[in-house]
Amino acid sequence: MFVSINWIKEYVDLSGFDIKELINKFTLATAEVEDIYEKGKDINHVIVGKILTVENHPDSKKLHLLKVDGGDRVYNIVCGAPNVREGMKVALAAAPARVPGADINVATVGGYESEGMCCSAKELGLSDDHSGILELPADAPCGEDIKKLYPIEDIVFEVDNKSLTNRPDLWGHYGIAREFAALTGRELKPLALDDLSYDGDYQVPVTIEREDLVYRYEALKMDNITVNESPVAMQIRLYYCGMRSINLLADVTNYIMLEIGQPTHAFNANMIDSIKVGTPKEKIKFTTLDNTEREIDENTLMIYNNDTPVAIAGIMGGLDSEIVEDTGAVVLESACFDGISVRKSSSRLGHRTDSSARYEKMLDPELCAQAVGRFAYIVKSIDSGAKIASKVNDKYVRKYPEITLSFDKKYVDRYTGIEISDERIIHTLTSLGFGVDYNSGEFTVSVPSWRATKDVTIKADIIEEITRIYGYDNFNITTTMMPLKPVKTDYAKAEDEEIKDILVKKYSMHEVNSYIWCDGRKYKKLGIEVEDNVKVLNIENSENGVLRNSMLPTLLVISNENKDFAESYAVFEIGRVVDGTREDGTCNERKHLGAVLYSKSGSEKELYYKALEVINTIVSEIKQTKAEYKKIAPAHNWQHPKNTAEISANGVAFGTICALHPSNKFKFDKTGSAVCFEFDMDSFNSVRANAIEFAETSDMQSVYYDLSLVIPDNTRFSELEKCWVNENFSELESYKIIDTFERLGVKSITVRFNFVDMERTLEMEEVQKKIDKILDNLSEIGVVIKA
């Protein structure tokens, strides 16, 4: 947003202040200023000239030979503008002169000496109009510096729009002037408004059909308007603030929007009989002022003349009701629409305007009346014959609640940490428009309407107002005295961090962050159904409004989107899911760990066992116990019907591991493989950790022994473990599965046993006895050695 200091000076006396220093104060106290531009500073020796004679150039169809009276003498000028004529007053850059970006000296043009240049508005940096030279008022004295004729010199600063998001009052110059008044301690001058007096009873008929989308709507008719072009000073001001001049009525509506932040719209009164504000019953086509046909759906708020649409509320008017050159009567709309509705409509249409950008910030409905009075005042001051042709029809449908906040001086001192006098507090708040009732150290503050739409709602907001105007740079830097207390350990968070360290440092997995809601479009690509669960209200896409009940579909989407960047990788996240609602109606929010392992060339079996290794490491290092697995029926359609298992430890089930259903695997990757696992971290945290046992390591050589075993169906590895664990062999240091095999329905595994003694090297005969005992135990449960 561009802000003109000349405009600010109309409301606040800034004499005696360094303007750039004030802008810096504004940055520290209110909003970030991105840049400062000094307009008109590089214009020099551009004066009012009168064209005395015009002759056609003998060798050119476009050039003219002019004699121009510059007040001090007559200048010979060669000019190519099509609109030159005798008696015309022009902006003459009399050599030597300077215009933005160029020095003007005596030069030969088309074989004739030119002692300067007759300038267009674009060449002076006053507009984008380069169709002809700028015509000055007929009574402008020759030789007068053009800077005295028009407010060309100005300081314009650009404010970062993001820093104004929560301050709708700052989307106009008057609101920013209020900030400057508070920062300087100067008075804020009131806006000049028309009294809107009208002798008759006529009002423009207005009907509000969608009261849920409208706060206020005012309509006023004016007629007998004969002036079509806005004053040059207004055109310059609009141009400096990023808008082009169109015609008087359109310019005044834009001027008011830039002045007080309230969008208005001027309809050609010949096209308006009765206004209706509502939404269409079905989709329609509508052509806007930019001559673009747009599709309007049933949720877009529209302005109608009777039943004919004439504008998209808060966004743009229609082509059929626009102001044209001969428009002599106008119906002014000044309204406050629901900001959320305008934002959604603007997004659907893909069309964001200066008007919609302001409505999105939740404007103050009280601005509507101010804008109407200001419009009438400005139009009448430019066109003295213009008349009010109706009473104001004011439909004030909804009001924001009045906000009153009470606090004492101790509250201010405690929050600021410094001593700010009562008088300073009262002066600061009143200069910002707050009402203050002070009684024996107690402050009762009434929040002004322009700050009560969403900005100032709690006492802490008032403290911010006081301190920012006081100046954060005026605070004394002191060390806070407070007791240091040990922070209570959050064991759940500590376990989260341990898991992250294991996954990243040991297994080189990538941590990701995702949203809690389902992305139906992306799920569909993988054949994953969005399951019924808690939904977010007011979401246009119903599938995207469903909160996830598992981390894994989200992580599968992320893995699928990144599978072309690496041969194999794994991603994980500790995030939130929602498992329905509790009895009190609140979401049953759970913390889950989800992980997906992917490989383009590795088999699903290899990935599955890699995932088991990862899970076993987590359980072993954090809980000092073993993970147990039990085959279960899949809980989700995308899980493999056979290769899905429950994970538990010490009798507590806390997760699942699974491969993908073949149909989902095909959509995910025809040749690659993916395996995933998920922990309910709340359940995992509840698993009792075993005590850590320390044992002396042996310096003797160990002996390993591999057994290849044929396993009957439905036999779990935990049953096999009992066959050697229950023997309590002191020499059995460790064991692990090193291979698995399945062919023609026969399953086998190879287990490696590692034996070691603390004092001597074991003989093979001793180890064999223990192996024989293990084989005897295995045979009792139907497990035999592979032939």
Of the given ranges (255-269, 616-630, 693-707), which has the lowest mean pLDDT? 693-707
Q: Mean pLDDT score of the chain, rounded to an integer?
A: 92
- CA-to-CA distance for 489 and 669, rounded, in angstroms? 43
How much is the pLDDT for 205?
A: 96
- pLDDT of 577 higher than 70: yes
How much is the pLDDT for 564?
A: 87
How much is the pLDDT for 417?
A: 82
How much is the pLDDT for 739?
A: 86
How much is the pLDDT for 414?
A: 87
- pLDDT of 542 higher than 70: no
CATH number of the domain within which 775 lies: 3.30.70.380
One-letter amino acid for residue 408 of the chain: D
How much is the pLDDT for 90?
A: 96
Average pLDDT over residues 387-412: 94
CATH number of the domain within which 435 lies: 3.30.56.10
Average pLDDT over residues 566-585: 93
Helices (H), 407-454: 409-416, 422-431
- The answer to whether 770 touches 754, Cβ cutoff 8 Å, is no
Residues 6 and 52 in one domain: no
- CA-to-CA distance for 440 and 408, rounded, in angstroms? 9
Buried b (16+ CB within 10 A) or exposed e, 540-569: eeebbbbbbbbbbbbbbbbbbeebeeeeeb
Residues 652 and 540 in one domain: yes
CA distance from start to end of the chain:
83
Strand order in the sheet with 442-446: 404-408, 442-446, 435-439
- pLDDT of 674 higher than 90: yes
Average pLDDT over residues 664-687: 93
How much is the pLDDT for 569?
A: 93
How much is the pLDDT for 511?
A: 96
Residues 621 and 729 in one domain: no
- The answer to whether 707 touches 785, Cβ cutoff 8 Å, is yes
Asked if residue 200 belongs to a domain, the reply is no
How much is the pLDDT for 483?
A: 84
Strand order in the sheet with 784-785: 732-743, 746-755, 703-711, 784-785
Asked if residue 83 belongs to a domain, the reply is yes
Residues 256 and 350 in one domain: yes
Residues 529 and 626 in one domain: yes
- pLDDT of 681 higher than 90: yes
- pLDDT of 339 higher than 80: yes
Asked if residue 482 belongs to a domain, the reply is no
Asked if residue 707 belongs to a domain, the reply is yes
- pLDDT of 543 higher than 70: no
Asked if residue 466 belongs to a domain, the reply is yes
Give the β-pairing of 652-660 and 732-743.
Answer: unpaired
Residues 71 and 107 in one domain: yes
475 band by pLDDT with thresholds 50, 70 and 90: confident
CATH number of the domain within which 241 lies: 3.50.40.10
How much is the pLDDT for 192?
A: 96
Q: What angle do CA 687, 691, 696 make, to 5 degrees?
A: 140
How much is the pLDDT for 386?
A: 95
Average pLDDT over residues 417-432: 92
Q: What is the tens place of the pLDDT at every residue in 253-273? A: 999 999 999 999 999 998 899
Average pLDDT over residues 662-671: 92
Q: Say whether pTM exceeds 0.75.
A: no
Residues 681 and 743 in one domain: no
CATH number of the domain within which 504 lies: 3.30.930.10
- The answer to whether 194 touches 252, Cβ cutoff 8 Å, is no
- pLDDT of 541 higher than 70: no
540 band by pLDDT with thresholds 50, 70 and 90: low
Q: What is the tens place of the pLDDT at every residue in 122-160? A: 999 999 888 999 999 999 999 999 999 999 999 999 998
Asked if residue 417 belongs to a domain, the reply is yes
CB neighbour class for 298 (10 Å; exposed up to 12, middle 13-18, buried from 19) = exposed
- pLDDT of 324 higher than 80: no
Residues 510 and 582 in one domain: yes
Instruction: Determine the 3-state secondary structure of 189 from DSSP.
Output: coil
| DSSP state at residue 636 | S
Asked if residue 543 belongs to a domain, the reply is yes
- The answer to whether 684 touches 495, Cβ cutoff 8 Å, is yes
Asked if residue 692 belongs to a domain, the reply is no
Q: How many domains does the chain have?
A: 6
- Token pair for residue 586? 């609140």
Residues 664 and 708 in one domain: no
How much is the pLDDT for 482?
A: 79
Residues 266 and 366 in one domain: yes
Handedness of CA 662, 665, 667, 672 (dihedral sign): negative
Q: Which domain holds residue 277?
A: 206-396
- CA-to-CA distance for 751 and 742, rounded, in angstroms? 15
Sequence-separated (6 or more) residues with CB below 8 Å from residue 165: 361
- CA-to-CA distance for 291 and 193, rounded, in angstroms? 34
Residues 67 and 140 in one domain: yes
- The answer to whether 505 touches 614, Cβ cutoff 8 Å, is no
Residues 175 and 233 in one domain: no
Average pLDDT over residues 298-324: 90
- pLDDT of 326 higher than 90: no
Reference 532, options 452, 636, 446; nearest CA is 636
List the beta strands (DSSP E) in 249-329: 264-268, 275-278, 284-287, 293-296, 302-305, 308-312, 316-317
Of the given ranges (363-367, 538-542, 642-646), which has the lowest mean pLDDT? 538-542
Q: What is the tens place of the pLDDT at every residue in 723-754? A: 999 999 989 988 888 888 888 878 899 999 99
- CA-to-CA distance for 711 and 318, rounded, in angstroms? 78
How much is the pLDDT for 218?
A: 97
